[in-house]
Amino acid sequence: MNGVHDMGGQQDMGPVVHEKNEPVFHAPWEGRIYALTRAMRAWRKWSLDADRHALELMPPVDYLRMSYYERWVHMLEAQLVQYGLVSKEEIERGQAAPGSTKATPVLSLATSDRWLTRGIPSSEDPHVRPLFNVNQRVRARNINPTGHTRMPRYARGKTGVIARDHGVYLFPDTNAHFQGEKRQHVYSVRFTARELWGERASPRDSVYLDLWDDYLERA
């Protein structure tokens, strides 16, 4: 989706503000929404890719206006309702609907280690053949999917070189929408700064992006 979250290359967003001795959470509610989000993901009703997409679906003005964890509050509420774990009315009232059943938490102190160290799926699956080789020249395809994608706009249509094969990962464009894992190779692709940004960029500099087979074509 060509949303505001896809920020690479935008200009005039202001200076980077560096806070000295920054706390991990700026207020207790930030820590709570962080923990709630992780605990609820343990139900496996949705994936990390789906969470990322839920953030992307926020109205652009809200996305830019809200702080990072405020976005998470909206994301979690939206996911809970969409996947039927709670109703909108329950969120508004802050109380369970009368007669609703009580579940047993998936993520408890006893099981948290297992849940929190659960890996992001990937593999060296030899059955999934890479479509490209290291040192091969490739072009990032000029695609504009309306759903979730991890290919930033600034790289589309640009030519780069495969620097490394990272192995096999789930394809976010389908996985976020429950349309299958579509496992495929992910590569580190090196684009020169001049290819991405033109002649005024430094001739020495480059940007490396991690891109899936489906994002690439031969150049």
Partner 1 sequence: MARLPADDIRQAVPSDLTLRVKSLESLLVEKGLVDRDALDALVDTMEHKVGPRNGARVVARAWIDQAYKERLLENAPAAIAELGYTSGQGEHMLVVENGPTVHNLVVCTLCSCYPWPVLGLPPVWYKSAPYRSRAVIDPRGILREFGTELTEDVEVRVWDSTAELRYIVLPERPAGTESMTEEQLAALVTRDAMVGVAKVTCPPSGAGR
- Minimum Å gap between C-beta 116 and partner 1 is 5
What count of Cα atoms within 13 Å lies in the side-chain half-sphere of residue 37? 24
Q: CB under 8 A: which stretch of 112-120, 128-136, 174-182 binds partner 1?
A: 112-120
Calpha distance 148→52 (Å, rounded): 8
- Residues 96 and 56: their CA atoms lie apart, in Å, by 29
According to the binding rule CB under 8 A, does residue 218 interact with partner 1? no
Helices marked H in the chain — which ranges? Answer: 28-41, 48-56, 60-65, 68-82, 88-93, 112-116, 172-175, 193-197
Site string for partner 1, 160-189 (x = CB under 8 A): ------x--x----------------x-x-
Q: Does 150 bind partner 1 (CB under 8 A)?
A: yes
DSSP lists the bridge partners of residue 169 as 122, 184
Q: How far is the CB of 157 from partner 1 (least distance, A)?
A: 16
- Choose the stretch contacting partner 1; rule: CB under 8 A; options: 68-76, 125-133, 173-181: 68-76
Kindly identify the residues of this chain, within the stretch 130-149, that bind partner 1 according to CB under 8 A: none
Report the site for partner 1 in 194-213 (rule: CB under 8 A).
Answer: 196-197, 201-202, 204-212
DSSP 204-218: T-EEEEEEEGGGEEE
**Number of residues in contact with partner 1 under rule CB under 8 A:** 89
3-state helix, strand, coil in the chain (%, to 5): 30, 15, 50
Q: Could you say which of 40, 54, 58, 168 contacts partner 1 (CB under 8 A)?
A: 40
Of the candidates 116, 134, 143, 219, which one interacts with partner 1 according to CB under 8 A?
116
